Structure 1
Amino acid sequence: MEASSPTDLSVSDPQLQHFIEVETQKQRFQQLVHQMTELCWQEKCMDKPGPKLDSRAETCFVNCVERFIDTSQFILNRLEQTQKSKSAFSESLTD
């Protein structure tokens, strides 16, 4: 019996496929956190770093994060709707 090399592994391996999906989700989450941090912390709410947050900065962070999440959710929903409508359209063409 031949030993398979790492390049012989295919994406059809369910464990490998699951691992790749999980790692991809982690990467996406980290990118979102990085974008949110950059936008809210550096661009919107902090003029200069200090030893503690004042109430204005805290309120700004809460609002910024909530808007970021709302916007991300809106975009995901819109992409999902677009994908569904494309699928429905292509199915109607094949009928």
Structure 2
Amino acid sequence: MSFSSDDSSFSSSTSGKDGDSELQEFLLIEKQKAQLNAQIHEFNDFCWDKCVDKPGSKLDSRTETCLTNCVERFIDVSLLITTRFAQLLQKSGM
């Protein structure tokens, strides 16, 4: 199966389970990309509101430091929550 990222169309050179598994893998990757983009937009919005008082042509060092720390903490918390949920799922036998 070949995928074209230019026009989001694909053509199948295989049929049956091989094509289905490739399609499922493609869809999973696209879903992960969409989730990553959504998370990036979420912390952009949050950290922008928290750190940027008034936009200018350049970031001052205080704003840059605030944005860096904010994004790093946001990622740390996201990873912590993801790890904790994975542990809970593993304990429950799912």
Q: TM-score range by the shorter chain?
A: 0.7 to 0.9
**Residue equivalent to 1:40:** 47
In 2: Cα distance, 1:13 partner to 1:86 partner: 30
* Alignment pair present for 1:84 and 2:87: no
Larger strand fraction of residues: 2
**Residue equivalent to 1:93:** none
In 2: Cα distance, 1:54 partner to 1:76 partner: 33
Compare relative contact order (CA 8 Å, sep 6+) and give the higher one, 1 or 2.
1
In 2: Cα distance, 1:35 partner to 1:78 partner: 21
4+ runs of 1 displaced by more than 4 Å? none
* Alignment pair present for 1:72 and 2:78: yes
Count matched residues: 78
* Alignment pair present for 1:50 and 2:56: yes
In 1: Cα distance, 2:36 partner to 2:43 partner: 10
**Deviation of the 1:61 alpha carbon:** 0.6
**Residues 34-69 of structure 1, C-alpha deviations (whole Å, 9 max, x = no match):** 00100011x210011101000100110110011001
Larger helix fraction of residues: 1
Root-mean-square deviation (Å): 1.8
Q: 1:13 aligns with which of 20, 23, 26?
A: 20
**Residue equivalent to 1:30:** 37
In 2: Cα distance, 1:63 partner to 1:81 partner: 27
Where structure 2 has 5 or more consecutive residues not aligned to the other structure, the ranges are 1-15
